[in-house]
Amino acid sequence: MRNTKVFIYTIAAVLFLISFIAMLIYGYKSFYIESDTNDSQDYKYHFALIAEETENDYWRLIEKGAKKAAAENGIQLEYVAPQKADNNELLRLLDTMISAKVDGIIVQGVEGKRFVDLVHKGNERQLPIITIDTDVKNSERKAYVGTDNHYAGQLAGTTIINNTTGDQYVGIVTGRLEAVNQQERIAGFKQAIKDHARIRVTSIKESNITEIGAAQATYALLKEYPQINALVGTSALDGIGMVEGLHEIAPNKEVYITSFDILPKTLQLIQTDKIDATIAQYPEEMGYQSVEAMIKLQQKALPDKQVYTKTEILNKQDAGGEIR
Ligand code: BGC
């Protein structure tokens, strides 16, 4: 009995010693890393960038540009986002960042009153908020940096007007119907084609800003409306997914495909004639310019509230050239 007790105590003492040593080693490590990256004493300002979705390639480019400007100007930049696109989660992050008292917030605009209220809350606390990629004009955001999304949608219309003949039955694959920039792109597209009776929108389906979602949406569109002979994708991964979806349901069908953005895979598909044209946005530039605008806002108001970054149509000739 006594021996058993001694044995148990010895084991407990050994376990305690091991975990104590481990705590010292790992505790020191994490403390070290934290103090290395979070020592705000060394930074002029601390900004937060709130993206639509963490691992989206397009948002990682925005982050890249923003981090570049931050590094050049002695700014600490924190990149946060919902794991998967989710407005409620994004709004919760925005609220948290307002309470965290950062010096500025750069955030994707989200439709609805809650966003407007949160921007107002930031304003009352003298915390400047800039929208990026998607604007919410009726909020008190200090500026918007990004594409003129209505114009970008018009460009998608222009490609179809100029490069097709005969009746065009258009299937639209859009990121998320509740995203303001997607709504603006679709509105711009419809406006561009409105005087061209041969081109009409047949149906619209969501991709949930994923490649697989875009493939499924395309499959469903063509199954339901076999007359579709033009596809337009309005967010960055839609074009890639549309090519897959079309390959699944109608591999030999001639469909005029217009996509959005210039992610490497999209450019490859243009090179191989799978995508006819894409509407280029410059996310790195958006990230970079948003941080520059936020720095200016720390001192005074910005004269220009709308900072539009470049948007253009790219097709095969352009995609072979130098593309940022
Ligand atoms: C849009 C972003 C969206 C992304 C999704 C881009 O075209 O501008 O709002 O998050 O596509 O991949």
- The 10s digit of each residue's pLDDT in 232-269 is 999 999 999 999 999 999 999 999 999 999 999 999 99
Question: In this structure, are residues 323 and 314 in contact, taking their beta carbons and an 8 Å threshold?
Answer: yes
Residue having the nearest C-alpha atom to atom 7 of ligand 1: 235
Element (H, E) at 316: helix 316-319
Q: Which atom of ligand 1 is nearest to the CA of 85?
A: 10
CB 168 near ligand 1, within 6 Å: no
Would the pLDDT of 17 be above 80? Answer: no
Residue of 136, 180, 181 to test ligand 1 pocket, by largest number of atoms within 8 Å of CB:
181
Q: List, in order, residues 6 or more apart from 15 with CB less than 8 Å away.
A: none
Q: What is the pTM of this model?
A: 0.87
Among 105, 87, 79, 148, which residue's Cα sits nearest to residue 308?
148
Residue that is written with structure tokens 């900072």 in the block = 307
Residue having the nearest C-alpha atom to atom 1 of ligand 1: 235
Residue 15: band (very low, low, confident or very high) from pLDDT cuts 50, 70, 90: confident
* Res 324: pLDDT: 37
Would the pLDDT of 125 be above 90? Answer: yes
Read off the pLDDT of each residue in 173-183 and give the average, rounded to a whole number: 98
Q: Kindly report which listed range (38-42, 96-100, 273-277) carries the lowest average pLDDT score.
A: 38-42
Q: What is the average pLDDT score of the chain?
A: 91
CB 206 near ligand 1, within 6 Å: no
Q: Report CA(151)–ligand 1 centroid distance (Å).
A: 15
Among 74, 67, 40, which residue's Cα sits nearest to residue 51?
67
CB 275 near ligand 1, within 6 Å: no
CB 63 near ligand 1, within 6 Å: no
Instruction: Calculate Rg over the CA atoms of the chain.
Output: 25
Residue having the nearest C-alpha atom to atom 2 of ligand 1: 235
